[in-house]
Amino acid sequence: MSVLERIVETTQKEVRRRSKKVPVADLERLLSERRHHDDRPFSEALTRPGISVIAEHKRASPSAGTIREGATVEEIVTAYERGGAAALSILTEGPHFQGSLDDLKAAQAACGLPILRKDFIVDRYQIVESAVAGADAILLIVAALDEKELEALYTEAYALDLAVLVEVHDEEELRTALEVVDADIIGINNRNLIDFTVDVERTYELLADVPTGKTVVSESGLHHREQLEDLERVGVDAVLVGERLMRSPSPEQALLDLLGEASDDLV
Ligand SMILES: O=P(O)(O)OC[C@@H](O)[C@@H](O)c1c[nH]c2ccccc12
């Protein structure tokens, strides 16, 4: 069984456990009370001039183990906001990434950036949960879903006013994202979720098959300003960066460096 399959399986179990504790009808009631939350447009944040950074809060991962200990979500996300992030990605998966929905709520309370709930979404329950917790967007991973699930979850997210980042890793998944849901925002994951190898070339290879007008996010393995400049040049709208920022003693400075802001100060 691949790591992805294992994570999907534990997620399904977790969702069953949570939905017994708090039935979906209770969440829906909370949602109708919460609906008029402040607007934090996710998709617009990615298409502003220049390459946008979605800065990710990630304590640990199956490939890297522990990434950062001892910092609060508030410290990290406010540093990201000061450093010029366009949006946040908050890992909420528990067993493998040490995240939780409480992290997302804390991030939402601490800063004004639009928030992507980064998780293995396989059930409608998680989408309602995301909206209640204050997410503005969710991730759907094509490799983790069959076509029917992808379509149903995508439709459900938009019905709840959540944007969707549809993640692909190869040509076939990209075709699925385009044909099944005509995804507006496409995430090209440079990391293979089966063996965890990272290759930024992935983005360039798949970009050629993305129709114009789509918003493209290059995800994973990005560490240097030059990589962002090259991606910007070929028309990538945004990047999703986790480890580089989370490992830095100053996530704010690391982000300024990626965005090329720090060097501007020197001239
Ligand atoms: O830490 P990195 O290499 O900058 O990667 C961030 C992000 O792309 C990565 O965390 C990610 C991409 N797709 C995912 C799906 C699930 C969990 C995590 C991910």
221 touches ligand 1 (CB under 6 Å): yes
On the CB side of 51, CA atoms within 13 Å amount to 29
pLDDT digit string (tens) for 73-91? 999 999 999 999 999 999 9
* Ligand 1 centroid distance, CA of 53 (Å): 13
Measured between its terminal Cα atoms, the distance across the chain in Å is 53
Q: Which of 148, 197, 191, 145 is nearest to 166 (CA)?
A: 145
Dist CA 251 CA 249 (whole Å):
6
pLDDT of residue 267: 45
241 touches ligand 1 (CB under 6 Å): yes
Cβ burial of 265 (10 Å; 0-12, 13-18, 19+) is exposed
Are 97 and 60 contacting, i.e. CB atoms less than 8 angstroms apart? yes
pLDDT of residue 35: 58
pLDDT of residue 232: 98
Instruction: Please give the backbone phi and psi of residue 79, each rounded to the nearest 5 degrees, phi first.
Output: -65, -40
Dist CA 156 CA 131 (whole Å):
11
pLDDT of residue 263: 47
Domain ranges, ordered by start, for the chain: 3-266
Q: What positions carry a catalytic annotation?
A: 56, 58, 118, 167, 189, 219-220
Q: Which atom of ligand 1 is nearest to the CA of 56?
A: 6
Q: Which of 188, 242, 196 is nearest to 218 (CA)?
A: 188
Q: Which atom of ligand 1 is nearest to the CA of 120?
A: 16
**Residues of the chain falling short of pLDDT 50:** 263-264, 266-267
* Ligand 1 centroid distance, CA of 220 (Å): 5
Whole-structure pTM value: 0.96
pLDDT of residue 195: 84
Classified as helix, coil or strand, 229 is helix
Fold of 3-266: TIM Barrel (3.20.20)
Closest C-alpha to ligand 1, atom 7: 220
The pairing of strands 87-91 and 215-219 is unpaired
pLDDT of residue 262: 58
Indicate the residue type of 3.
V
